Amino acid sequence: MASLRIDQLATRHVGPIDLSIGAAECLCIQGASGSGKTLLLRAIADLDLHRGEVYLDGASCSSLPAPAWRRSVSLVVAESQWWSAEVGEHFEQGVDADWLERLGLPEAAMGWELSRCSTGERQRLALLRTLMQAPAVLLLDEPTGNLDQESTRRVEAVLAEYRLQRQAALLWVSHDAAQVKRVAQRSFTLDHGRLLENLG
């Protein structure tokens, strides 16, 4: 079980933010383009300079080496980085064939060249790559932004199962109000650097 606590976190144009996300909870953030949603996720992942502190089950971000923190508190962006030509070379721990299938991808995808993958295929593969590292917290920056409706529902289902099985905390940025209603236990709007809870 993993809980995330954000204490007076501030980065460019955002904060200070106080927020807690419980184990097995999905919390969504909405907000206008440019409101700082991605900046907030990057600060939580310790990818950008920030003030304040973030705690994973009581362990502070500043007390852990950056790679260890980012393995446990993992950011998934709409367009991930790839460093080898072939998909399978990015899955050092292997791949869960069931999740691959549930994301609408064939086992043969592990042998694909990345250059032949569509944007949507790369997005689902990047999510799967992160899930195979078993992070305690997922920071999801528009994880279905490039997907059609069927693939979006597949991703939502896999993330819901992961959250419950692993008792993982999810912080999910989405522009889709209907999606927020489907996936979130709580939701907030980021406005002028402040998080405002959406009630009702």
Q: How far apart are CA 163 and CA 23, in angstroms?
A: 8
pTM passes above 0.75: yes
**pLDDT of amino acid 165:** 95
Number of H helices, E strands in the chain: 6, 10
Task: Give start and end residues of each alpha helix (H) in the chain.
Answer: 37-44, 66-72, 97-102, 119-131, 149-166, 177-183
**pLDDT of amino acid 197:** 95
Q: pLDDT of the chain along its 200 residues, tens only?
A: 689 999 999 998 898 999 999 999 999 999 998 899 999 999 999 999 999 999 999 899 999 999 999 999 999 987 788 888 889 899 887 888 898 999 999 999 999 998 989 999 999 999 999 999 999 999 999 999 889 999 999 999 999 999 999 999 999 999 999 999 999 999 999 999 999 999 86
Classify domain 4-197 at the CATH class level: alpha beta
**pLDDT of amino acid 1:** 67
Q: Could you tell me which of 137, 140, 167, 132 has the C-alpha nearest to residue 156?
A: 140
pLDDT tens figures, 127-169: 999 999 999 999 999 999 889 999 999 999 999 999 999 999 9
Q: Which residue has the tokens 């393995």?
A: 71
The 10 Å Cβ neighbour count of residue 131 is 21
Inter-residue contact 74 to 66 (CB < 8 Å): no
Q: Where are the domains of the chain?
A: 4-197
Residues 6+ apart with CB under 8 A from 53: 7, 8, 9, 60, 61, 62
Residues 6+ apart with CB under 8 A from 177: 30
The 10 Å Cβ neighbour count of residue 179 is 19
Q: In what order do the strands lie in the sheet with 14-21?
A: 14-21, 4-11, 51-56, 59-60
The 10 Å Cβ neighbour count of residue 111 is 10
Inter-residue contact 14 to 36 (CB < 8 Å): yes
- Helices 119-131/149-166 angle, 10° precision: 0
